[in-house]
Chain A
Amino acid sequence: MSNKLHINRDHLLEQLKQMVRIRRFEEKCAELYSQQKIRGFLHLYIGEEAVAVGAMAALDEDDQVVATYREHGHALARGLAMGPVMAEMYGKTNGCSRGRGGSMHLFDNARHFYGGNAIVGGGLPLATGLAMANKQQQQSSIAVCFFGEGAVAEGEFHESLNLAALWQLPVLYICENNRYAMGTALQYSESEMNIAKKAASYGLQVAQVDGMNVVDVEAAVRKAVDAVRDNQQPYLLECLTYRFRGHSSFDGQLYRDKAEVSEWEKKGPVKRLVRWLTEYNHFETEEMDQIERQVEAEIAAAVAFAEAGEWEAVEDLCKDVYSPTPSGDAV
């Protein structure tokens, strides 16, 4: 194994900070949404932060990441600066997608972040194709695809896993099983509720992990990444997690008990890591306060960055539908 997890205090504090960044960023987004600064759909990742933070820590800079419409956490954990992400929420030209995508379509070429796909399951073939390109070009980078358990019901899930296993492509599928596809619980949508088992039937290597524990997620992803990179084969990791908020900003959550949510909130990834640090590493309130202050300042700067951003000129409405390079260079 080339990619072993080294747990030390500094690393855990960094992971904690990353999770707090995502948590506070999204809380701010919810507030800005109610002020109508952010519009459209807003899908919050609150409760699931350990998956993105744990996973991204295990990836190389050149690895490609394909995400879903609930991707604020993936984007921030992948290293997209908070300012451009916030500006994208606003729809301003200094946003990471020039304001064209909004919350569901965060992109960043420099960080190999391929969105931000709002079609459930739509990213699975894309990541599989990126993996194919890596293999054909003998690059060591791997493609990593995040998706929810709802995507497992889509044909793309089955088609992609079959192709990846058939052609032995270096792709890591990370299923964020938060138990609800919008308002439909897994038991109402899947005949076989164990998603890892489903993937194993296609011949993929699989594992399940507690998605509320950032250390466990990172360890599992490091192991998976090694298997994918070293053996050039696909792998599916199922992260068992939970979202504390509704599916989107319009969700009244009539499909689940408040008691269930509060039960899961006790297992929250931030709380959990804080508890662990306090128990074993002499973690002080002061350190948490410091993280909160840093994050608060970062968010304030990001909001200011977004507020200061410009609206796209209407004359540029149809820009970037096609590439500027003229076609027609005949062979």
Chain B
Amino acid sequence: MTYREALSAGIEAALNADPRTFLMGEDVGRYGGCYAVSKGLLDKYGETRIIDTPLCESGFVGVGIGAALGGMRPIVEIMTVNFSLLAMDQIVNTAATLRHMSGGQFNVPVVFRMACGAGKQLAAQHSHSWENLYAHIPGLKVISPGTHTDARFMLAQALADPDPVIIFEHVMLLNESGEVAGQAEAPMEKALVRRQGQDVSLIAYGGNLHKAQAAAGQLAAEGISAEVVDLRCLRPLDKATLLASVAKTHRAVIIDEGWHSGSLAGEISAIIMEEGFWYLDAPVKRVCSAEVPIPYPAHLEQAAIPQVETIVAMAKAVMEGR
């Protein structure tokens, strides 16, 4: 099935599993979801479970938070992470803080789903990767399904979590076909080694996971054994898994569609330096986006974001100790 269908199956399973769960967001009902993820669900579950909202991100995101406080299990869809900036106050100042500020009296079991990433020539206001902003915030959990199985099962894991969870779904994955396992592969907070290797760790997540895997394939043909680590969860980070991989391969390249400066890749690089410095045979490298609002023309857009060739070149550079 496609990644889109896997997401949809996950939503449907969640709606079936718990009557407190509902899906709310812009165009999720009658339109069928702007990326067609929730197509057909309105007919099946009705207006009280599949709720079309007006265009008011701060309002309906806050309503989702309030509904979670009131005992519901809302799935709030924000059309793209770019629009979530309008709701950032509610997510950061309310959802993320309530538990701590109330001395543990109130938790907020809400799940936010948002599309992210570039590659569809949608220009700067629809193509950004803001995962790092949310991964910066204590009180939030941030996950990113890079495989079809994760697309199918991470939502249920997020809903089972008593705290606010944000799920980032990369737009370039939606039409990809893939296998879905019968159950979740691991708890959502665990990073997984997707390909075993000896020479270099390629650390990626979400939409760039398959680029890392493709790069590993090309490197193998050239005699370089690359290990692919799928972070899956961006907050909290599964440091143990990524450090174990670096301890084994002694080299790391981090792939992240966020801008180079201030990227999540920078944080991971710092973790490796702080806790895995003595494992390293070469400086850690990052493959990130260029320091530019993502442009509209295809050739410039592709030049701005991580590519398989860049990952391969960077892996070769670290192999040579550059």
| A contacts, CB < 8 Å to B | 64, 95-101, 105, 107-109, 114-117, 119, 122, 124-134, 136-137, 143, 155-156, 159-160, 162-163, 166, 318-323, 325-331
Distance in angstroms from B145 CB to nearest chain A CB is 13
Query: Is B207 interfacial (CB 8 A cutoff)?
Result: no
Other A-B pairs, 16, CB within 8 Å; known A119-B94, A124-B62, A137-B20: A95-B103, A107-B105, A114-B69, A115-B98, A125-B61, A125-B63, A126-B62, A128-B63, A129-B70, A131-B66, A156-B59, A163-B53, A318-B138, A327-B188, A329-B160, A330-B153
In the complex, A319 Cα to B102 Cα: how many Å?
12
Q: Is the CB of B103 within 8 A of A107?
A: yes
Q: For the complex, is B72 an interface residue (Cβ under 8 Å from A)?
A: yes
CB within 8 A of A125: which of B14, B90, B102? B90
- Within the complex, the shortest CB–CB distance from B187 to chain A, in Å, comes to 3
- Determine the distance from Cα of A159 to Cα of B70 in the docked complex, in whole angstroms: 19
Q: Which residue of A lies closest to B107 (CB)?
A: A323
* Min CB–CB distance A78 → chain B (angstroms): 14
Indicate whether A163 sits within 8 Å of B56 (C-beta atoms), given known contacts A122-B89, A136-B22, A322-B139.
Answer: yes
Q: How long is the Cα–Cα vector from A163 to B98 in the complex, in angstroms?
A: 23
Q: How far is the CB of B247 from the nearest CB of chain A, in Å?
A: 25
Rounded to whole Å, the gap between the CB of A130 and the closest CB of chain B is: 4
Looking at the complex, which one of B14, B20, B70, B90 makes contact with A134 (CB distance below 8 Å)?
A: B70
- Pair A327/B62 contact, Cβ less than 8 Å: no
Minimum CB–CB distance for A256 against chain B, Å: 29
Q: Which residues of A contact B103 (CB under 8 A)?
A: 95-101, 107, 320
Q: Does B17 sit at the interface, judged by CB under 8 A?
A: yes
Q: How far is B99's CA from A124's CA once the two chains are assembled, in angstroms?
A: 18
Note all chain A residues with C-beta closer than 8 A to B48.
136
Tell me, yes or no, whether B58 is within 8 Å of chain A by CB: yes
Contacts of B37-87 to chain A: CB distance below 8 A: 48, 53-54, 56, 58-72
163-197 of chain B: CB within 8 A of chain A: 163, 183-184, 186-190
A114 contacts B106, C-beta separation under 8 Å: yes
B261 in the interface (beta carbon within 8 A): no
21 A-B pairs, CB-CB below 8 angstroms?
A: A101-B102, A114-B69, A122-B90, A122-B94, A124-B62, A125-B63, A126-B65, A129-B70, A131-B66, A132-B63, A136-B20, A136-B22, A318-B138, A327-B161, A327-B162, A327-B187, A328-B160, A328-B184, A328-B186, A329-B160, A330-B184
Check if B69 sits within 8 Å of A130, measured CB to CB: yes
Please tell me if the beta carbons of A133 and B67 are within 8 angstroms of each other in the complex. yes
Interface presence of B101 (CB below 8 A) = yes
Rounded to whole angstroms, the CA-CA distance of A133 and B184 in the bound complex is 29
B240 at the interface (CB under 8 A from A): no
Asked if B317 is an interface residue, CB under 8 A from chain A, the answer is: no
Shortest 4 CB-CB distances between A and B: which pairs? A129-B66, A125-B62, A133-B70, A98-B103
Contact pick for A322, options B59, B63, B99, B184, CB 8 Å = B99
| Residue contact B160 to A156, C-beta cutoff 8 Å | no
Which B residues between 1 and 33 are near A, CB-CB below 8 angstroms?
Answer: 13-14, 17, 20, 22
Query: Given contacts A119-B89, A155-B58, A331-B14, is CB(A107)–CB(B65) below 8 Å?
Result: no
Other-chain contact of A122, B14, B93, B156, B188 (Cβ < 8 Å): B93
Measured CA separation A156–B56 after assembly (Å): 9
The answer to whether the Cβ of B104 comes within 8 Å of any Cβ in the partner chain is yes
Q: How far is the CB of B261 from chain A (nearest CB, A)?
A: 27
Contact of A160 among B62, B102, B107, B158 (CB under 8 A): B62
Chain B residues whose C-beta falls within 8 Å of the C-beta of A159 in the assembled complex: 54, 56, 58-60, 62
Query: Nearest Cβ distance between residue B257 and chain A, in whole angstroms?
Result: 25
Most buried by A among B62, B157, B186: B62
Contacts of A109 in B (CB 8 A): 102, 105-106
Q: Is B100 an interface residue (CB 8 A)?
A: yes
A129 to B17, CA, bound (A): 22
Q: Which residue of B lies closest to A157 (CB)?
A: B59
CB neighbours (8 Å) of B67 from chain A are 129-130, 132-133, 136
List of B residues within 8 angstroms of A125 by Cβ: 58-63, 65-66, 90
CA A109 to CA B99, docked complex, whole Å: 11
CA distance A108 to B89 in the complex (A): 23
Q: Which residues of A contact B157 (CB under 8 A)?
A: 327-330
Cβ contacts under 8 Å, B64 to chain A: 129
A320 touches B99 (CB 8 A): yes
Question: What are the residues of chain A within 8 A of B53 when measuring CB–CB?
Answer: 163
Q: Do A100 and B156 have beta carbons less than 8 Å apart?
A: no
Report the separation of the CA atoms of residues A128 and B61 in the bound assembly, to the nearest whole angstrom: 11
Q: Pick the contact of B56 from A97, A162, A319 — CB < 8 Å?
A: A162
Q: What is the CB-to-nearest-CB distance from A10 to chain B, in angstroms, rounded to a whole number? A: 33
B91 → A minimal CB distance (Å): 11
Question: B53: nearest residue on chain A (CB-CB)?
Answer: A163
Distance A144 CA – B153 CA, assembled complex (angstroms): 37
Q: Which residues of B contact A156 (CB under 8 A)?
A: 58-59, 62
Structural contact, B101 and A129, CB atoms closer than 8 A:
no
Q: Known contacts A136-B67, A137-B71; decide if A129 and B62 are in contact (CB<8 Å).
A: yes
Measured between beta carbons, the chain B residues less than 8 angstroms from A126 are 62, 65-66, 69, 94
| Cα-based distance from A331 to B104 in the complex (angstroms) | 27
User: With the chains together, A325 CA to B101 CA distance in Å?
Assistant: 18
A163:B106 contact, CB within 8 angstroms: no
Are A119 and B93 within 8 A (Cβ)?
A: yes
Given contacts A125-B62, A329-B157, contact A320 B100 (CB under 8 A): yes
Contacts of B89 in A (CB 8 A): 119, 122
User: Which residue of B has the minimal Cβ distance to A318?
Assistant: B138
| Closest chain A residue to B158, Cβ basis | A327
Task: Check B138–A321 contact: CB distance below 8 A.
Answer: yes
Taken together as a complex, chains A and B put the C-alpha atoms of A133 and B63 apart, in Å, by 9
Question: Knowing A108-B105, A115-B102, A126-B65 touch, does A331 contact B70 (C-beta < 8 A)?
Answer: no
| Nearest Cβ on chain A to B244's Cβ, whole angstroms | 19
